[in-house]
Structure 1
Amino acid sequence: MHTPSQPGIPRFLQDGVLYEEYHPDNAFRKQVYCFWRLRTQYRLDMDCHYLVLPDACIDLIFDVSDHADGAALVMTPGLQAIELNLGRSFSYTGIRFHPGVWRQSQHVVAQSQMYSSLGVMDMAAVARKLKDDIHVEHQQTRLQDLVKHLTEHKVINETAWLLQLLAQPNPPKSVDELVQKSGYSRRQLQRLFRSKTGFSAHDFLKILRFHQALAGQNMDGYTDQSHYIREFKRITGITPVAFRGLYR
Structure 2
Amino acid sequence: MAKNKLHQIRQLFRPLQPIANAAEGGLSYLEFLPDIRLHDFIYCYWQLKSETHLSDPYPYRVVADGCIDIFFELDHPTESFLMGMSGSYTEFQLTDCFNYIGIRFLPTRFTELYGLGAAELTDLCEPMEQVLPETSLFIRNNFSAKTGTEEVVQLLNGYFLKRLENTRIKSDSRIAHAMDIILQREGHLHVEKDLDVGLSPRQLGRLFEYYTGDTIKTFSKIVRFQNFIRRKAGLEALDQDQHYLAAGYYDQSHFIKEFKKLYGTTPFKALRS
TM-score, normalising length: structure 2: 0.75
Aligned residue in 2 for 1:137: 150
The residue type equivalent to 1:107 in the other structure is E
Q: Cα gap change, 1:70/1:44 in structure 2, threshold over 3 Å: closer, same or farther? A: same
Q: Cα gap change, 1:115/1:156 in structure 2, threshold over 3 Å: closer, same or farther? A: farther
Secondary structure of 2:49's counterpart equals strand
Verify the 8 A CA contact 2:49 2:99 in the aligned structure 1. yes
Q: Cα gap change, 1:12/1:125 in structure 2, threshold over 3 Å: closer, same or farther? A: closer
* Aligned alpha-carbon RMSD (Å): 3.0
Alignment of 1:207-226 (within 5 A): 207-216=222-231, 219=246, 221-226=248-253
1:176 aligned onto 2:184? no
Verify the 8 A CA contact 2:259 2:265 in the aligned structure 1. yes
1:204 aligned onto 2:231? no
Residue identity (%) = 26
| CA distance in 2: counterparts of 1:220 and 1:243, whole angstroms | 14
Deviations 1:120-179 (A, max 9, x none): 943311333xx4332x33221111122134435659868996286289554341223541
Decide which of 49, 66, 72 is 2:80's aligned counterpart: 72
Secondary structure of 2:107's counterpart equals coil
The residue type equivalent to 2:139 in the other structure is M
Aligned residue in 1 for 2:67: 57
Residue 21 of structure 1 deviates from its aligned partner by 0.6
Verify the 8 A CA contact 1:32 1:98 in the aligned structure 2. yes
Alignment of 1:1-248 (within 5 A): 1-9=12-20, 11=21, 14=24, 16-65=26-75, 68=76, 70-102=78-110, 103-116=116-129, 117-118=133-134, 121-128=137-144, 131-134=145-148, 136-151=149-164, 154=167, 162=176, 165=180, 168=183, 170-174=185-189, 175-176=191-192, 178-180=194-196, 182-216=197-231, 219=246, 221-245=248-272, 248=273
More helix by share: 2
How many residue pairs get matched?
239
Secondary structure of 1:71's counterpart equals strand
The residue type equivalent to 1:231 in the other structure is E
Residue 59 of structure 1 deviates from its aligned partner by 0.6
The residue type equivalent to 1:124 in the other structure is R
Q: Cα gap change, 1:133/1:202 in structure 2, threshold over 3 Å: closer, same or farther? A: same
Residue 47 of structure 1 deviates from its aligned partner by 1.4
Residue 197 of structure 1 deviates from its aligned partner by 1.1
Deviations 1:73-104 (A, max 9, x none): 10035211111012131110111001112232
The residue type equivalent to 2:83 in the other structure is M
Verify the 8 A CA contact 2:181 2:195 in the aligned structure 1. no
Q: Cα gap change, 1:30/1:162 in structure 2, threshold over 3 Å: closer, same or farther? A: same
TM-score, normalising length: structure 1: 0.82
- Structure 1 runs not aligned, ≥5 long: none
Aligned residue in 1 for 2:238: none
Aligned residue in 1 for 2:9: none
| CA distance in 1: counterparts of 2:26 and 2:170, whole angstroms | 37
Verify the 8 A CA contact 1:77 1:110 in the aligned structure 2. yes
Secondary structure of 1:36's counterpart equals strand
- Structure 2 runs not aligned, ≥5 long: 1-11, 111-115, 236-245
